[in-house]
Structure formats: structure tokens, C-alpha cells
Amino acid sequence: MNTNLSVAIATFNEEENIGECLSSVKDIASEIIIVDGSSTDKTVEIARQFGAKVEITKNHPIFHINKQRSFDLCTGDWILYLDADESVSRELAKEIQYVLAAKPGELVEYEKKVLSKLFIKHTELLEKRDGPIGTKEGDYVAFFFPRLNLFLGKYLRFGGTYPDGVIRLFKRNKAYLPCKSVHEQMVVEGRVGWLGSNLLHNDSPNFARYLKRNSRYVNLIRDELLKNPKALSLSFATSYLIIKPISWFLITTIRNKGILDGWRGLLFSFFSALRFPRAYLRYLKLR
């Protein structure tokens, strides 16, 4: 057990996932903080079996509000933030323990060993989309984890699905969520590094769950279209109904080698590409 590590999780009806999640961190955490959005299943009961401190509140539409609340309740020097459908691999657990015990100079040399070109490229893509993430100098205050996403029984490694870097480990009071969007990047006040071992994401164990999650992304695109006065134009219609889905499928399957994930990779790329025409058709229904 590490006396400086708080695990923070926001939950809502996660009885199928929360046990595996907490099992993966119970031996490295000094405390487990759960902010639950009034679950109607056994999520809270299971969490308390692991000794978690549970605060029950409303289930906010912007789920980051409850995530940030879980950070605020933590008392450890470091916070490990997880979604309920994520679990820490044994290799990652060991790496986290090393980081918390290491000296600043040791961490600089350690990151050089694990920082691959793929991780660097992923960081660049995130910063192009979201702006600068933390700083490049000084002591490390937060770390990205590479994340493997489960799709129909297999972890995807191609098609742009990996490393899917997420900031999950950070010093208390050095990072926060703005709580304005479900896809916002964490704001970090200090240097951000990478760890090399994988976080495991039970993203889509079955197709029904994948379609449910995919539908949420479709609605987010639809909502953005509703805000755009030019969305009814022929150019927008052509882009969302034809150009975007075709280009997305070709990029993910060929350039990003999604085909190497077999039929699952092709299926994932196909339905990911379909989110653009589906969103546009939903947009038209609301006009």
C-alpha cells in the first residue's frame, strides 16, 4: 500500500465494472474515493466492500463535475483517477509505485526510456486539438497512461485506437477538469510525462454497449451541427454524408493499419465512420 496515493472514481450504475476496477488498485492505494451519481444498482455496495469512501450526489449531465468532486475529496499527495470501466494492469501498478517513490532526476531519465515516437506523436495531436498540456520543464506533476480499448473480446492496437493517451496520475491540486464538456482535456499546472505500461479499458465488451456509446458521440456531433448556421449548406451535407465517412474509413483501416486488428478493426472503423452521416441525419430531423 502507498500512503500517498488516493484513487478517485465517479460512478453511475457500474456494478458490472467497479469490482474489477477496484481490485486492480486496492493494493497500491491509501484511500479510494467514490462520488456516485445516485446509482440504482449495486455499485455503492460493491465499492464499500473495498473500503471506499462514498459520497452520493446527483448524476450531472456533464459527468466531469462528479469526477472533479472526487478529486476535491482526496487527501493523498498523488491522485490516480479512473473511470469505472478501466483497470490498472499489474505492470502499470508497479510503474505507478516506482514513480511515487522516485526522485525528480530519476523520473527524467525514466521517461526517456519509455517515451516512444508514438507517444510523442499522440501528445502533439492532442495539443493541436486542445492547446498546450502542462509544461515541458520542471518537476513532473502528472502522467499520461497509454490505454488499450477492448472491442468485442480483443484489445485494439491499430486504426488510431492506440496509445489513446489519458492523464490519470497527478499531484493533488496540480490538475483539474474545467467541467464544461464531456471530452475536455485536463488542465495541468506543471510538467506532464508518460508512463509505458497500459491502462485497460473495458470499452465495448459487446456490440450493444458499443452502439450505445457510439450513439452518444453521434449526438455530440449533431449538437455541434445545430450550433452552426452553415450546416444546412450543400458543402456540409456532402462532407458529412459522403466525404468524411469515406475518408475516415480509409485513413483508419489503411494509413493507421486498422486492418491488422482483423474483422474487429474493420468493423470498428466502419461504424466509427458512420457517425458522421448518422449525426447529419439526426441534425436534419431537428431542423
pLDDT, residue 88, reads 98
> Tell me: the pLDDT tens digits for 206-257?
999 999 889 989 998 999 999 999 999 999 999 999 999 999 999 999 999 9
> Both 179 and 86 in a single domain?
yes
pLDDT of residue 60: 87
Residue 180 is predicted with a pLDDT of: 80
97/214 same-domain check: no
| Statement to judge: residues 158 and 46 lie in one domain | yes
Give residue 61's pLDDT.
Answer: 82
- pLDDT, average across residues 253-281: 97
Given a contact cutoff of 8 angstroms between Cβ atoms, the answer to whether 22 and 12 are in contact is no
11-69 pLDDT, tens digit each: 999 999 999 999 999 999 999 999 999 999 999 999 999 999 999 999 988 889 999 99
Based on the domain organization, do 239 and 163 belong to the same domain?
no
DSSP state of 17: T
User: Which three cell numbers mark 50?
Assistant: 473495498
Say yes or no: 93 and 141 in one domain.
yes
189 shares a domain with 178 = yes
Which residue among 204, 227, 250 closes a domain? 204
* Among 13, 35, 9, 36, residue whose Cα is nearest residue 23: 9
Query: How far is residue 63 CA from its own chain's centroid?
Result: 13
Pair 222, 265 in one domain = yes
- Mention every residue, 6+ apart, whose C-beta is less than 8 A from residue 233: none
Looking at residue 56, its amino acid is: I
| Phi, psi of 98, rounded to the nearest 5 degrees | -65, -45
Cell of 221: 456531433
Q: Domain holding 30: CATH number?
A: 3.90.550.10
Got the DSSP string for 81-145? Answer: EEETTEEE-HHHHHHHHHHHHS-HHHHHHHHHHH--HHHHHHHHHHHHHH---SEEEEEEEEEEE
d(CA 90, CA 197): 9
Query: What is the residue-averaged pLDDT of the chain?
Result: 95
- Can you give the residue range of the structural domain that contains 250? 207-286
Q: Are residues 16 and 111 in the same domain?
A: yes
Count of structural domains within the chain: 2
Residue 2 in this model has a pLDDT that exceeds 80: no
Last residue of a domain, one of 204, 221, 256: 204
Do 20 and 77 fall within a single domain? yes
Q: Give the residue-averaged pLDDT of 73-78.
A: 97
Tell me the per-residue pLDDT of 126-185, one tens digit each, with 9 for 90 and over: 999 999 999 989 999 999 999 999 999 999 999 999 999 999 999 999 999 998 876 788
- pLDDT score, position 3: 62
**Cell reading at 53:** 469512501
Placement of cell 510523442 in the chain: 120
Of 187, 204, 221, the domain-final residue: 204
74 and 161 assigned to the same domain: yes
Return d(Cα 15, Cα 18) in angstroms, integer. 6
User: Is the pLDDT reported for residue 1 higher than 70?
Assistant: no
- Same-domain check for residues 54 and 132: yes
Whether residues 73 and 189 share a domain: the answer is yes
* 3-state SS record for 61-82: CCCHHHHHHHHHCCCCCEEEEE
CA atoms within 13 A of residue 235's CA, in its CB half-sphere:
3
